[in-house]
Structure 1
Amino acid sequence: MTGEQGAVAQGAAVLCAVAALWRVAEREQGLRRARLVLAGVGAVGTPGDHRDPGLTGPSWRAVGARWWAAVRGRRAWLCLPVAAVLAVLGESPLPLVAGALAVPLVGRRLRASALRREREARSDAVVGLCGAVAAELRAGRQPAPALLFGLRATGALGPQEEAEVLAAARFGGDVARALRSAARQDGADGLAGLAACWQVAVDGGAGLAAGLDRLEAALREHRDQRERLRAQLAGAWATVAVLAVLPAVGLVLGSALGARPLYVLLHTPVGLGCLAVGAALEAAGLWWAARIVRGGERV
């Protein structure tokens, strides 16, 4: 085995070790949440002790769980160890510079994905709120208690918005206005429809349950349409992902064949030029492909 192949093997071993530790910590975190849900927080350990028993005591599991909790919110920083491995393999500080520049870009992308998931979760909670309130109304509850029950059951609002709506419902305030104010949250547009149904029911005496049923059906259809469109675009996103990893696959294959691509790219003028042009073309291609797919999602 040549020196270049040995370095590639060492780098691959480091990456595998990082991935394995990540996976073990994630599995431990999932087991911890399952124990809390099934057994209850106070049912494990001594009475009144609300700490997770899996995190007490100096064990490697506790260390792994704490490591995962610390890294989970800073996943963008994992670019640095990957860049360090490439720097060792290529015997150049350029990968470290690229990794440091990639941290804010990856962090921005991760934050955007987290906001999108939060927006979709809130939208689904609003659909559940409409259904819960309509069900309580058909069961014989008055509108205000039904709304209070639906808010507590679904958690569709943030703490401040929920407090405002609850105060208006309990003390005879303007519930429709509070709901319209809460609809300004990202993903809570359906609350504007709930506010309109509430206003019509209060002013004109129309049936609130029937209006909420129609609103729930419309919101649910919109959500199902979004999911169908996302399923149809899954193949396009897979193509984008394949295009993103092709350069890395080429580097691995070149190293396996003994061509020393990292040395050529990082230590020769021609290689540095090819690296700069290739990185620019790769970034432009990924941006353009992602733009096309996101345009299809907005149709």
Structure 2
Amino acid sequence: MSASGAIGVPALLAVVSAGVAAALLWPGPGLLSLGPARAGFSGREPGGRRGVTTPLVVVTCGVLAAAVLPIQHVVLALIAAGAGWGGALLVRRRRAARAAEQTSVRLLEACEQLTGELVAGRPPSAALEHCAAEWDAIGPVAEAFRVGADVPDAWRQVAERPGAADLRVVAAAWQVSHRTGAGLASALEHVTVDLRAQRATRRVVAGELASARATARLIALLPVLALTFGAGTGGDPWGFLLSHPVGLGCLALGLAFALAGLAWIEALAREVDRR
């Protein structure tokens, strides 16, 4: 069977299945979302509803497809759905990492602004209000100071946001200053200097990891180029992969290895970022 004969109805079903898998994992509200997404959270809902719904939809699509299509086309559709699911998961995690990185940058800017205002002699209440107006994540801290609540605890709660873990150091500095009577501006100034140094180190590490990520993506695309060149020389590699049982097995294994390699590189990068 030629490539053109193998890419008809099954290709359409594969695209639909991949779209379903991507929609289930796509962050934010959408057609298949189970509730509003909240910034700074993993996207999992209480009780694991998303984790239960995802395999349920995939199994349902597989059963419906098996009822109307040959098994070969069903396998192709499932392979495409699995690849779409894995790709969507990688994209979602990468976007979450970028959002955390932006939060980290905004955190440093807020600390610099807060320190500058305290050094200039502004009271902590006014400094916090001004910083909260620039970055609404600090709003709970300003509110805690205004009502006389535990300000260090409010800092720690904000630090639970992805990328804002360094605010725990700010909370510690605030607590030490409050208990010992040490200058708050001086304590936060030292913290800001340390955060700025850590940020510079992270930029160097990110630059080093960028080449590894680019290499992994290039290696993942090399099989596609090889198949394209093979088709250009008169062969039919696409027809073999999409129609022959052995080809379908090779396609599934190849996609699985490619996604596993990309996931491994991202996992290594996240481990390095944590350190």
Corresponding residue number in structure 1 for 2:77:
96
Q: CA deviation at 1:284?
A: 5.0
Residue 122 (str. 1) matches residue 103 (str. 2): yes
Give secondary structure in 1 for the equivalent of 2:132.
helix
Map 1:14-93 to 2 at 5 A. Answer: none
Corresponding residue number in structure 2 for 1:28:
none
- What TM-score comes out, normalization by structure 1 length? 0.61
Corresponding residue number in structure 2 for 1:155:
136
Aligned residues: 216
Corresponding residue number in structure 2 for 1:179:
155
Q: CA deviation at 1:268?
A: 3.3
Corresponding residue number in structure 2 for 1:135:
116
Query: Do 1:182 and 1:191's aligned partners in 2 also have CA atoms closer than 8 Å?
Result: yes
What 5-or-longer segments of structure 1 have no aligned partner? 12-69, 75-90
Corresponding residue number in structure 2 for 1:108:
89
Q: Which has the higher contact order (CA 8 A, sep 6+)?
A: 2
Residue 234 (str. 1) matches residue 219 (str. 2): no
Map 1:147-296 to 2 at 5 A. Answer: 147-157=128-138, 162=139, 164-283=140-259, 285-288=261-264
Greater C-alpha radius of gyration: 1
What 5-or-longer segments of structure 2 have no aligned partner? 9-25, 31-71
Q: Distance between the aligned counterparts of 1:282 and 1:95, measured in 2?
A: 17
Corresponding residue number in structure 2 for 1:62:
none
Q: Distance between the aligned counterparts of 1:285 and 1:252, measured in 2?
A: 22
After superposition, what is the alpha-carbon deviation per residue over 1:44-93, rounded to whole angstroms, capped at 9, x for unaligned? Answer: xxxxxxxxxxxxxxxxxxxxxxxxxx99987xxxxxxxxxxxxxxxx956
Identity of aligned residues (%): 35
Q: Distance between the aligned counterparts of 2:173 and 2:268, measured in 1?
A: 38
Q: CA deviation at 1:97?
A: 2.8
Label 1:187 to 1:293 Cα distance change in 2 as closer, same or farther (>3 A).
closer
Query: Do 1:180 and 1:191's aligned partners in 2 also have CA atoms closer than 8 Å?
Result: yes
Q: Between 289-298 and 235-244, report the one with greater CA deviation.
A: 289-298
Q: Distance between the aligned counterparts of 1:285 and 1:108, measured in 2?
A: 14
- What TM-score comes out, normalization by structure 2 length? 0.66
After superposition, what is the alpha-carbon deviation per residue over 1:239-278, rounded to whole angstroms, capped at 9, x for unaligned? Answer: 1111100111111111111201112223335434544554
Label 1:192 to 1:269 Cα distance change in 2 as closer, same or farther (>3 A).
closer
Query: Do 1:194 and 1:215's aligned partners in 2 also have CA atoms closer than 8 Å?
Result: yes
Q: Distance between the aligned counterparts of 1:152 and 1:291, measured in 2?
A: 35
Give secondary structure in 1 for the equivalent of 2:95.
helix
What's the C-alpha RMSD, in Å, of the aligned pairs? Answer: 3.4
Label 1:166 to 1:284 Cα distance change in 2 as closer, same or farther (>3 A).
closer
